[in-house]
Amino acid sequence: SQQGEEDPQALSIQEGENATMNCSYKTSINNLQWYRQNSGRGLVHLILIRSNEREKHSGRLRVTLDTSKKSSSLLITASRAADTASYFCATAETSYDKVIFGPGTSLSVIP
């Protein structure tokens, strides 16, 4: 698999705190995406960052990408109980159309 690991595997924080999740990958990529999955549901796209970008913001989300370290981080600021979900990073290879997912981080936000 081209995908590495996400850490932490599970994260529990209080409402209002920030949550940071990290993702590593193994090969050259075209872009990296983050998705969210509520329990028992399909995945929903959150944000995409291209390989020539270093940082991107969308609302309370901030994504960074370090292609030299083959890693990315997702920061959720001022977390809410409704942010409780699993979060996955996914990479799109440069040569093919495969989109490969990591194992995910389970986030619990305690009210």
101 part of the interface to other proteins, by CB under 8 A: yes
Establish if 1 lies at the interface with other proteins (CB under 8 A).
Answer: yes
Residues 6+ positions from 45 with CB-CB distance below 8 Å: 33, 34, 35
What tokens does 23 get? Answer: 């993702």
Residue 65 binding other proteins, by CB under 8 A: no
Does the protein bind other proteins through residue 7 (CB under 8 A)? Answer: no
Shortest CB 33 distance to other proteins, Å: 7
> Which pair of tokens denotes residue 103?
């194992």
What SS3 class is residue 83?
A: helix
Residue 3 touches other proteins, criterion: CB under 8 A: yes
